[in-house]
Structure 1
Amino acid sequence: MSNGPELYSESVEKYIVKVMYNRPSSIVELAQALQPSDFYFVPFRYLFTAIKHLSLKGDVTAEGIMTFLETENREAFSVLQGIGGAPTIEAELRDFSLPKSPAVKDQVAVIKSLAYRRNAVNIAEKIKQSAETNIDHEMNRQFADVEELDNRIKEMTYSLADNLNMDDDVQQIGKSVSKVKESIKSKEFRGIDISFLYPKTNALIKRLRNKALYVFGAPEKVGKSTWMTDLGWNIADKLGVPVAYGDTEMTEEEQLIRICSKISGVEEDKISDDTLTPEEEQRVEEAWKLIEQVPFYHFNANELTNNELESKVKLLQLKHGIGLFIYDYVKIQSHEAEKGRLDMIMASKIDTLKEKIAKQCDIPVITSGQMYHLHVTDGKHKFAETSHFTKLADVICRLDHRDPTNPEQFGTHYIELIMGRKVKARDVGKRVEFDFKQEIHRIKEL
């Protein structure tokens, strides 16, 4: 670091410690905003810690600091004794000219920024060393595989953000009452309201809430992809919310033609075969232009590991502000088939969608899984490959064809609420009917 810019400021660190020493009323604020490791200069680091502890017992004095450290931290005591002990502390820190409530916000920001940059340099060196040697230096062994190396790199990278949160002090729960009351009164919530598109479905599942995993189970060839594409595309198009779509089924070209068909009302085959009438050609061209403008991000997720999927979505969120992730769909992929128990592989994937993506990215996540036909399970809703959907998902619905022999059903498809958190218990078992025009991938809630 000696050849680059200085990643520390002695004057700013001294000012912060001086404020704490002279204005005890500032100690709580600064102790919550900063950590000892944020200080580059060791004496200031020890003084910060000592003043914070002494403030809990009474007055802060130079003699008190040295007495405390002599008992609690001999190394710190020796360092401060080496620069002059209590007389030097008093001479350097006592300042009667400080205002009653000194401004510290800018100085805290400087210290946090410099600490972050120092940590970034150190972590970059560790990542480089791990990548070059393939050795986990914390465990003193080689990495088992590239996935384990990737995990360690992520841990080191994510740890950089640990010291950035300025509001992580635990508060009395009642401090949040007014904020919650206001959100209830104003009907504000963190998530996506889809009542503009599917009002009945929106009421049934209580909107798409941030940090929640929504699963739409369906038997094969019912229209899982048509449903999720329709939902994701309309949210991106009509609401302007950036949507990421991880696809294990279709290529980018296939998805583009499907969306173009949906917008233009022209069948896929006619678009791909280029057998269009002049009027259809105009509608298709207008659809292509619209697609180029909408924040809808499609990628092939068929061969991605769970770690790679997590990284892909987090990178997209960083670059494009992703507000919804759709994963089409949860299944055993070719590279996973020989790795062990299939149900645990599926559980790990579902856990990644919920814990690593929905919760950590603070967005709703929608996915689907294969379900048995009702006649096979005596009318019970059962997923084909794992039971972990019901253990981990926040809301589960069934998407299926309507029963053509039942005169009380109408439309082509229905969605039934199977279970869910924060949904009304009396709504479990309720259905919403739809008309699917799958030849042009359009859906209408009835």
Structure 2
Amino acid sequence: MQEYGIQIERSVLSSILFDPSRFEEISTKIDSKDFSYLPHRHIFEALKELHRLDLPLDEEFIVKKETPERPIDREELLYILGTNPISSIEAYVNEIKDRSIKRELHRLANTIREYSQKEELESEQILDHLESELYKISQDNENRDFKEAKEVTLATLEHIKKMKERGNTILIGVDTGFKELNKMTTGFGHGDLVIVAARPAMGKTTFVLNMAQKALDTGKGVAIFSLEMPAEQLMLRMLSAKTSISLQNLRVGNLQDEEWERLSRASDEMAKKPLFVDDNSSLTINQLRSKLRKLKSRHPEVGMAIIDYLQLMSGTGSRDRHLEVSEISRGLKMLARELEIPIIALSQLNRSLESRSDRRPMLSDLRESGAIEQDADIILFVYREAVYKMKDEKEKEEQAKKEGKEYRSNFVNKNEEEAEIIIGKQRNGPIGTVKLIFHKHCTRFVDFDKEVEIVFEEGKFDTNEAKIEMASI
């Protein structure tokens, strides 16, 4: 059987040397590590380098690419040149790939046996490691300790060329859904851990759902882990934002005929989107990793994950909470890099910021801020001054009642409010503030200069409805 496998590999390599135009297609299906015979791996690596440099894929140039770490077996090269090329090569390529995966699975089986005998390892740690290895096998990732300078340089140049082909566009990552935020961040990068933090009632869940909607509208899949809110409530908010129908009216089914038509169209559209929601209120970092890996493996179109929210997650043991949060944030960052998608995690802020005269949040206001601040690539704060103004007016009114005085407020509760997205940290870009407009009735943030249909007139937004909205944002 071993000789049979070597002969298949020779046939594939011979076909490449006979017709070099085949190499590009073949190299998208197999890599050097998929060859079982070491001399074949070295020859395929040489072919890869020649192809990158746009040099001829022939015997003479293969020999020129020999290095001490990558010797070229001349005798084996003669065997390959003497092997008849085949016209229908796909079955042979698939056979090489299949054998490679089986070898990896055999290696993993030995790892399972070895790890299961280690008393110092907990079962959850073993499962997490094995799931990670299995995901790498299924995604055909090449697990190496180092990348050589040549490989990194060529990959970087290739990336720059791709950006040039896109016309020097501002957006190079996942679209945030907001024009000015895209300018500041160039979009969320693959592998980024993005923290969205705010005090309660500021609209952080609404903000990330608006981002999720944009991703869905551009064809990307979105995974949402909602530890605080049932999936149906999330969908109500997304439908409210999409249709401009009041969230409160959607909740009670108080809709006009035209609104029912809008809702029906939006529902049909949303039902076809690659949106995946896990609303289990109890979730550990290991469970999240396992679920997201499986989802990404089954649905490669998933391009963003959202966790609402970080402080409700638990680690792998009952340790100090700061250590637990550190484990969670580090785990999320590593998972984002592994799956090559941005992971957006919501976070609560310390209550102490409300005692300041300027209640705009800063990095030190993050709960367990040390680990979160260190691991995050981008930290965004959601801030709405009107929330505090309403709260202050309410407190003044209650205080006046206690003193038997009459209090007349000048505060006008508007349907539209200015909002600020404060970029508190950005590993690869500037920090600063982006202004948005928040629509209360349909829980939606929009660009500051964007014209969107407004259902309610300013100043006529019902106060009781405002209380309901604020309590659940």
TM-score normalised by L of structure 1 = 0.69
Check the 8 A contact 2:192/2:377 in 1, yes or no. Answer: yes
Which residue number corresponds to residue 218 of structure 1? 198
C-alpha contact (below 8 Å) 1:398/1:418 kept by paired residues = yes
Partner of 1:401: 384
1:119-169 Cα offsets, whole Å, 9 max, x none, are 265368669xx6xxxxx5346345855413412432542463697649997
SS of the aligned residue for 1:297 comes to strand
1:233 aligns to what?
213
State the partner residue of 1:412: 418
Query: Contact conserved, 1:326 with 1:366, CA < 8 A, in 2?
Result: yes
Q: Deviations over 1:60-109 (max 9, x none)?
A: 678xxxxxxxxxxxxxxxxxxxxxxxxxx99xx7688569x999x97983
1:38 Cα deviation from its structure 2 partner: 4.4
Evaluate the alpha carbon distance shift between residue 337 and residue 61 of structure 1 in structure 2; reply closer, same or farther with a 3 A threshold.
closer
Over 3 Å counting, the alpha-carbon distance change for 1:306 and 1:18 in structure 2 is same
Say which of 274, 288, 303 aligns to 2:253.
274
| 1:208 partner SS | coil
CA distance in 2 between counterparts of 1:33 and 1:338 reads: 40
Q: Secondary structure at the match of 2:421?
A: strand
Separation in 2, partners of 1:305, 1:98: 55
Match of 2:408 in 1: none
SS at structure 1 position matched to 2:195: strand
**Counterpart in 2 of 1:244?**
223
CA offsets 1:328-352 (integer angstroms, 9 cap, x no match): 111044x659711111211211112
Answering whether residue 149 of structure 2 is matched by residue 147 of structure 1, we say no
2:367 to 384, 408, 413: 384
The alpha-carbon deviation at position 322 of structure 1 amounts to 0.4
Unpaired runs of at least 5, structure 1: 20-29, 40-44, 63-88, 131-135
Q: Is the CA contact (8 Å cut-off) linking 1:190 and 1:210 kept in structure 2?
A: no
Distance in 2, Cα, partners of 1:205 & 1:47: 46
Partner of 2:325: 346
Q: Unaligned 5+ residue runs, structure 2?
A: 16-26, 46-62, 390-415, 449-473
Shift of the 402–7 alpha-carbon distance from structure 1 to 2, 3 Å rule, reads farther
The corresponding residue for 1:73 is none
Q: How far, CA to CA, are the matches of 1:97 and 1:208 in structure 2?
A: 51
Matched, 1:367 2:345: yes
Letter in 1 for 2:376: A
Number of the residue aligned with 1:65: none
> Aligned pair 1:421/2:427, yes or no?
yes
State the match for 1:330 in structure 2.
310
In structure 2, what is the equivalent of residue 187 of structure 1? Answer: 168
Please show how residues 20-419 of structure 1 align to structure 2 within 5 Å.
Answer: 33-35=31-33, 38-39=35-36, 45=37, 97=82, 109=93, 112-119=96-103, 122=106, 136-138=113-115, 140-141=117-118, 145-158=122-135, 160=137, 165=142, 170=148, 171=150, 174-176=153-155, 178-185=157-164, 186-187=167-168, 190-194=172-176, 197-237=177-217, 239-320=218-299, 321-333=301-313, 339-356=318-335, 358-372=336-350, 374-376=353-355, 381=362, 382-402=365-385, 411-419=417-425
CA separation in 1, counterparts of 2:81 and 2:215? 59
The residue type paired with residue 283 of structure 1 is R
Cα distance in 2 for partners of 1:33, 1:278 equals: 59
Q: Offset at 1:224?
A: 1.0
- Give the paired residue count: 378
Q: Is the 8 A contact 1:13 1:111 kept in 2?
A: no
CA distance in 1, matches of 2:116, 2:239: 52
CA RMSD of aligned residues (A): 4.4
CA contact 1:33–1:108 (8 Å) conserved in 2:
no
Note if contact 2:39-2:73 (Cα within 8 Å) is conserved in structure 1. Answer: no
Q: Is it true that 1:9 corresponds to 2:5 in the alignment?
A: yes
CA contact (8 A) 1:123 1:157 kept: no
Tell me, yes or no, if the aligned pair for 1:230 and 1:442 is still in contact at 8 Å. Answer: yes
Q: Which residue of 1 aligns with 2:451?
A: none
- Contact preservation (8 Å) 1:412, 1:436: yes
Q: How far apart are 1:418 and its partner, in Å? A: 1.2
| AA aligned opposite 1:286 | R
Overall identity of the aligned pairs, in %: 16
Q: Deviations 1:217-255 (Å, cap 9, x if unpaired)? A: 111221111111111112212x12111111111101111
Which residue in 2 is equivalent to 1:438? 440
- Determine helix, strand or coil for the equivalent of 1:412: strand
* TM-score, structure 2 as length reference: 0.66
- Post-superposition offset of 1:262: 2.0
Structure 2 CA distance for aligned equivalents of residues 243 and 392 of structure 1: 22
- Range moving further from structure 2, 320-329 or 162-171: 162-171
Tell me if structure 2 keeps the 8 A contact 1:193–1:202: yes
